[in-house]
Amino acid sequence: MKSLLALMLVSSAAMADDGAMLRCRQVTDGPARLSCYDAIQLGAPAPVAAAAAIAAPPAKVELERSFGAETLSTTIKLDSIESSIVGNFDGWVPKQRIRLANGQVWMINDDSQEDLSLVNPKVKVERGLMGAIYMDIDGARTAPRVKRVK
């Protein structure tokens, strides 16, 4: 009987707080989820203050706002954002700056150019290989490489 009681005490001491485990399961970003699990104290329920200290991943709006302007220390990055170019869009030339409806300003960062006649074209700015970022403009034949300037 004593050994059964000892086994139950050891088992409960090794278990983590169920509420903390459920909270961590809901975190969708891998590194943030791992940090959440690492913050769980084994052997005792996690205190409320420690659970609140676990940083929730940034909201999608915040990630979109910082797209293309991340630092090397940024761990959570989007693969793409979608917006549009407001008004008439006649195409681009190298080094041209393009303002999106979301307020971001991007500069053409390659030697491509294209003549277009579009009104309020939708754009998708997405990461390519080796850190390059491209702007896919609805109605254009190519997607120029871009760099965020604002």
Q: What average pLDDT does the chain have?
A: 78
Do 36 and 65 lie in one domain? The reply is no
Do 136 and 76 lie in one domain? The reply is yes
The tally of domains found in the chain comes to 2
pLDDT attached to residue 79: 86
Sign of the dihedral through C-alpha 127, 129, 133, 136: negative
> What residue numbers bound the domain in which 33 lies?
2-57
Lowest mean per-residue pLDDT among 25-29, 93-97, 118-122: 25-29
Do 78 and 133 lie in one domain? The reply is yes
DSSP reduced 3-state for 110: coil
pLDDT attached to residue 26: 80
Q: 42, 57, 72: which is the final residue of a domain? A: 57
Do 23 and 81 lie in one domain? The reply is no
Query: pLDDT at residue 70 above 60?
Result: yes
Instruction: Determine the residue type at 128.
Output: G
CA dihedral 136, 71, 107, 149 (to 10 degrees): 130
Instruction: Determine the residue type at 57.
Output: P
* pLDDT digit string, tens, across residues 20-53: 777 777 888 778 877 777 777 766 554 554 455 4
Do 45 and 108 lie in one domain? The reply is no
